[in-house]
Amino acid sequence: MKSEDSSNKDPRVCCFHDSEAEAAFEESVSALIALMQKKSRQMYINEENILRMNHGQAWVHSARDPEPNTSMHRMSAEWSVPYAKIVENDLGLIASTLVPVKDELDRQFASNIYSVVGAAADRVGNVVEAKKAGSFAESMLEMLEKIELGVDREGNVSMPQIHAGPDAYEKIVKEIDNVPQDISDRIEKLKEKKIQEALEREEKRKNKFKRDT
């Protein structure tokens, strides 16, 4: 029993510890990770659309049509710091520790984003399968037909973004060059139509506000 106790005892010694300074350092590490995460997030989401909640883990848009229940996704990453590297005073340890943490958080964030967008698209049927559509060009046309364009706070119509992995990206770039002219014309026409529809929807939305007549 005695030997168990002694083996469990922390063999480190506390001398000249400044717990406040150490806590402040840990906070600055968290702030740095948060900053790196913010930069990564900006690749996916406009900052205007970021909402910050202080309490709770779920939300509801009760003024809208019922939506699937969503909840916050927790992201976490673990890191370990070898004591030997600390003792060697290897300042490269900061990058070699924090960059993998950032990458892991980015990966989880992207995964969460795509799974939420994917679920929402599934629910409203906004899913296009390239094989069923017949060709890449046809699938682009079908995709454009299915989506509604949004209008930002300045009244500009937001065009859709395409997110793709590196392999798919290369393919898409090649396919775009080979879109037949007739489909390209149809896409342009549809785009005009969608833009017009978006502006009309926006005007209708704004007209719902009471105005001083």
Partner 1 sequence: MLRRAMIAMGCNHYEHLEDLGSAEYDAEAIFDALIQPQIGDYDGLKSKLLKSPTLDEVRAAFKEILFGTETLDVLTITFAGHGAVSSGSFYMALRDTDASALSATGLSLSDLFRMIAEAAPKQTYLVIDACQAGGLVSDLNVILKAELMGRDGTPGVSLLATAASDQAAVEVGKHGIGTEALLKCINGDIFLQDSSPALDLVEIGRAVSTNLMEQGAQTPTVWGLNLYGPPSFCKNPHVEAGAEPLRKILADWPDPESRKSIQSFLPKLWGPYSSTGEDFDSRRFVELLFSLSDELSSEPQMLENLNRRISESFAVQAQQSKDVFKPIEVRAAAIIALLPSAKNADIADHIAERCNQLADEIEHAVEYVADAITNYEYALVTGGLGDLYHLPIRISKLLGWAGFAAHSRILTGTDSSAAEESLRSILDRILQVYSLSLVAMSDCQSPYLITAITALEQFRMRDEAEQLLGFYFNSVVDCGGKVARPDLQANKVLSYLIARGSGELNGKTDLVAQPSELVLALLRLAHLTNLGDQFDLSLSELDHLPLNAYLPDSYENFGALQIPEGLNAVFQIGTDFWQVAELEMSWPNPPIPENVAEALASILAALVFPDRSPWFLFASSDQRGVGEPN
Judged by CB under 8 A, does residue 32 bind partner 1? Answer: yes
Shortest distance (Å) from residue 24 CB to partner 1: 3
Judged by CB under 8 A, does residue 25 bind partner 1? Answer: yes
One-letter amino acid for residue 114 of the chain: Y
Q: Which of 20, 65, 78, 177 binds partner 1 (CB under 8 A)?
A: 20
Which range touches partner 1 (CB under 8 A), out of 76-84, 110-118, 121-129, 132-140?
A: 76-84
Sorted by sequence, the CB contacts under 8 Å of residue 79 that are 6+ apart come out as 97, 98, 100, 101
Judged by CB under 8 A, does residue 27 bind partner 1? Answer: yes
86 or 162: whose CB is closer to partner 1? 86
What are the residue ranges of helices labelled H in the chain?
Answer: 2-8, 19-42, 83-87, 92-124, 130-133, 136-146, 166-177, 181-207
Sorted by sequence, the CB contacts under 8 Å of residue 172 that are 6+ apart come out as 136, 162, 164
105 or 128: whose CB is closer to partner 1? 105
Q: Are 153 and 48 in contact (CB under 8 A)?
A: yes
Q: Tell how strand 157-158 and strand 150-151 pair up.
A: antiparallel
Shortest distance (Å) from residue 183 CB to partner 1: 50
Residues 96-125 that bind partner 1 (CB under 8 A): 97
58 or 91: whose CB is closer to partner 1? 91
Q: State the residues that interact with partner 1 by CB under 8 A.
A: 11-29, 32, 81, 83-84, 86-95, 97
